Chains A and B, each alone.
Chain A
Amino acid sequence: MTTEREPGSSMPLPSLAPTEFVGSSEPTVVSTEPSPIREFLSKRGSGRLADTSFAVVMLVCALSIFAIVLFIFFILISRSKLSLIAFGWKFFMRSAWDPVSGDFGALPFIVGTLETSFLALLMAVPLALGVAVFLTELCPRSLRAPISFLTELLAAIPSVVYGLWAVFVLVPIMREHLGPFFAKTLGWTGLFGGANFGVGLLTASIILAIMILPVISSLTRDIMTAVPNSQREGVLALGATRWEMIRTGVLRNSRIGIVGAIMLGLGRALGETMAVTMVIGNHAEIAKSLFAPGYTLASVIANEFSEATDNLYLSALIEIGLALFLVTIVVNAIARLMVWAVTRGAPARVA
């Protein structure tokens, strides 16, 4: 072989006579007997029936989701008719809640629900992302399984147990240590004023944050594990530090999944009943201070459903359920919009 050659010029390839590959002139022996494999295959149906029925079954599964949602919506509307007629759509804007005189409004509950859920997200998301990043990118192998197991265990604890723990542990800590600390350091914001009994919006938010943390972190961890190593290597090879690699090579690739994980956490926070009811103070008033007791949509239904004796009261509580349903839908829609706005400029993911 010679080597002194111009760039691009090709080396002589081992000579292959082209005629060896182009249609040979020799007559091919065609067996008259059909091959068993072909015979077997020719007996198989066209598969059209199987394909169609498969598609139909899958369509039914997908539609069933719509059906269930519509059905729930319909029941909520029909059962809250009395209250809908009495207060109209203003119900969602009114602050009154007086079962004795039959005056109802959902605003304090809506505010309480949104406030606690978003505070919970604010605390849980950075923590959950930190846990996931640590588990997938930094953690020594031997620690990975135990920590994952512990986080998943957190998700399996029943909410009433969280509630009990909050009542006996979190509430006193809040009253004696955390509360005064916040009042001193962040009192100027006005968010930490007034009496601090240990129960209230902030305590409820903290317990919610603890409850949604494992959901968000374990989903995020799974999503981040699914990012192929070639992505990490691609970024590292450009001279990225560990953090830059995680940001560009891992978090960026999993951002849509992470938003999904956060939405699942938010869904749980919006609807969480038991633990919140035990520590939020159950007081239907919109307060500026996070120490103040509040109420959520889910807790008021749980607390008052058995006491609701007259029809208007019952119907108002069901309309609270409707409000929770709508809040969930609106919040999810806003989140989708936000994802869309963030990823709009970026090219669609292909693979």
Chain B
Amino acid sequence: MGVGIQVENLNAWYGTTHTLQDINLHIPANHATALIGPSGCGKSTFVRCLNRMHETNPIARATGVIKMGDLDIYKDASPVEIRRRVGMVFQRPNPFPTMSIYDNVASGLKLNGFRNRRILDETVERSLKQAALWEEVKDDLKKKSGASLSGGQQQRMCIARALAVDPEVLLMDEPASALDPVSTSKIEDLIFQLKSQYTIVIVTHNMQQAARVAENTGFFLNGKMVEFDSTHKIFTNPRDKRTEDYITGRFG
């Protein structure tokens, strides 16, 4: 089961640049939440704060409170524990090139010392099926390098890799930006199915995609969250003029 996330007064910096300013929102459990906004507005930065990847950048800093259920992720747990529970799919696929497809998908479990062959096999198969990649790779799971797949296949493999550790929250930073329409719709179907078990946060530049998969949508602009509401409301009757301008394409 997924878990909800409460963000309170989140501020983030790169060096002296104040990239995120006073972000407040609630991401409900077992729903998909879309984040939209123009390039450079801080969507990736926000998502990276949710699994504490932001702090891996030596010049980056963040303040505020992020709660996963009752757990304050910056106070009550180590980044490692958080990342085991909050999976992430990056904007660009990053397969591990020295590993086979199987090992790529199993890597999260293996590096945590998980050795049970049978469960590993099952998990790899399940995750690849969830990511709609199983049929394409099942015959050379252990023969082919993860980097030998096509870009779209790599991205689905990375999704499978994130799913294999069975996270409660799944962060997807433009998971479909490198994909063809067929893979994209497969991933959207996947998100639709996963919603019942995971809390999903998806960054997207594709308004229709947000509308298709997410119950709630947040609009970011210049490091601030301008509006957060049900997707229906955002797309049909936004409160803020800037939101309306952006979704209707009238924006600067």
Contacts and interface: CB of A to CB of B under 8 A. Distances in A.
Chain A interface category by residue count: 35 or more
Contact of B232 (A3, A7, A241, A248): A3
A22 to B, nearest CB: 19
A305 B94 CA distance: 57
Interface stretch (A145-153, A191-199, A294-302, A342-350): A342-350
B231 A3 contact: yes
Interface string A233-259: 111111111001001110011010000
Given A230-B94, A238-B87, 13 more contacts: A1-B236, A2-B211, A5-B212, A7-B213, A8-B212, A11-B212, A236-B79, A237-B51, A238-B84, A239-B85, A253-B96, A346-B99, A347-B145
A332 interface: no
A351 interface: yes
B81 to A, nearest CB: 7
B146 to A, nearest CB: 8
A5 B211 contact: yes
A231 interface: yes
Interface of B: 51, 53, 56, 58, 79-85, 87-88, 90, 92, 94-100, 107-108, 111-112, 143-148, 158, 161-162, 165, 185, 188-189, 192, 207-208, 211-213, 231-232, 235-236, 247
Given A8-B188, A233-B53, A237-B53, A347 B107 contact: no
A347 B53 CA distance: 29
B98 A346 contact: yes
Nearest to A254: B98
Contacts of B143: 347
Contacts of B161: 234, 238
A-B pairs, 3 with minimum CB distance = A239-B84, A347-B145, A238-B108
Chief secondary structure at chain A's binding surface: loop
Given A240-B80, A253-B97, A350 B236 contact: no
Nearest to A9: B212
Interface string A130-173: 00000000000100000000000000000000000000000000
Chief secondary structure at chain B's binding surface: helix
Contacts of A7: 188-189, 192, 212-213
A349 B147 contact: yes
A351 B111 contact: no
Nearest to B149: A350
5 contacts: A1-B236, A3-B211, A238-B111, A347-B99, A347-B143
Given A3-B211, A233-B90, A255 B98 contact: yes
Given A4-B232, A8-B189, A11-B211, A237 B97 contact: no
